[in-house]
Amino acid sequence: MSTDPVPLAQALIRCRSVTPADDGALDIVQRALEALGFACTRMVFGPEDYRVDNLFARLGTGAPHLCYAGHTDVVPPGDPAAWADDPFAGVVRDGVLFGRGACDMKGGIAAFIAGLTDFLAARPDHTGSISLLITGDEEARSIDGTAKVLEWMQANGQIPDMALVGEPTSRAALGDVVKIGRRGSLTARITVEGKQGHSAYPNAADNPIHRLVAALGPLLAAPLDNGSAHFPPSTLQVTGFDVGNAASNVIPAAARAMLNLRFNDHHTSAALTERLHAALRAAGARYTLQAECSGESFLTQPGPFVDALSRAITRATGVTPALDTGGGTSDARFIARYCPVAEFGGVGATLHQVDERAPVEELHRLAATYRAILEELLP
């Protein structure tokens, strides 16, 4: 008989673990893993006003070493009155589990632990080792969670041979998508300085709007690239433009723009930042540019690890997964610095929404799929 992931998912949902609060969620995960024989290490990072709880757990010392990564923190539920039930009640109704985190990703963590339980019961003599990296800082700053636990893992000889992040990657049906990479994300804040003046006497002023538009025009006129083997074309979006000017006859002293670039493996954040500098210099602008990269693009090339994931998912679900790199960022961007990483989880149709939910049957099938993945990767 298979282990039911729903009671564990309900217990996790009932923890109000809105980032960076933990509210006991990692205690629940730790107890479940210690009952399976895992050695658990807790780590707390961050300033006093933003303490983040993290968990690393490992069973076995041999190779290959597979790490499952996930997060127990969730986004705020918004107005609770908009929900059919308390967003932290973990209600099951008509075969569906409701609650913040049911989809992203407390349901996924529960499914992995259920599948892991069944795998260990059936294969107590397996070789290799299994670890879990569970953080409470994925949905917000992502500073004091996975990235810092990985530093500890490297210092303590715990870097895995491969990692699986349990984000809800499936689109229409469980098993239809495995993410093998992600685009990078670069945010740029530009301020162009000018000289204020009367709009009737432009020769006595220096219009910063004109210079900023002149810089942005060529950047927007042509695509950054045409995509690559595994990535769509990179994009540049102007997400903010402001001069703080209420007077129609005044040339302002400064103009500001905010850009977001989502880029593929043709680029690095440093090269794109220099491209912005070059455009501003060409426009003759006096400017400041602040660029922040939340993650470089990365790709786990198709090969033995990705092939094994695909075989296991097809065997468990009957669906052949597409290999995808779309969407935003995830903690896989940190793990990719250390080892091959892929992402696979349930259908993400309601993540971050009111009445977030996961069908109970899907959670059972996800648990069975995680068991199949363990069977495929750990001899």
Catalytic: which of 22, 73, 118, 137? 73
Check: CB of residue 171 under 8 Å from CB of residue 326: no
Which segments of the chain does DSSP mark as H helices, in order? Answer: 6-13, 25-34, 106-122, 146-155, 208-221, 269-282, 304-317, 332-335, 360-377
CA distances from 107 to 24, 35, 112, 336, 364 (A): 16, 19, 9, 24, 10
Is 73 among the residues known to form the active site?
yes
How many Cβ atoms are within 10 Å of 281's Cβ, its own excluded?
11
Nearest to 89 by CA among 102, 78, 76, 79: 102
Give residues with Cβ within 8 angstroms of 238, minimum separation 6: 216, 220, 257, 258, 259
Catalytic: which of 22, 138, 139, 331? 138
Catalytic residue numbers, as ranges: 73, 138
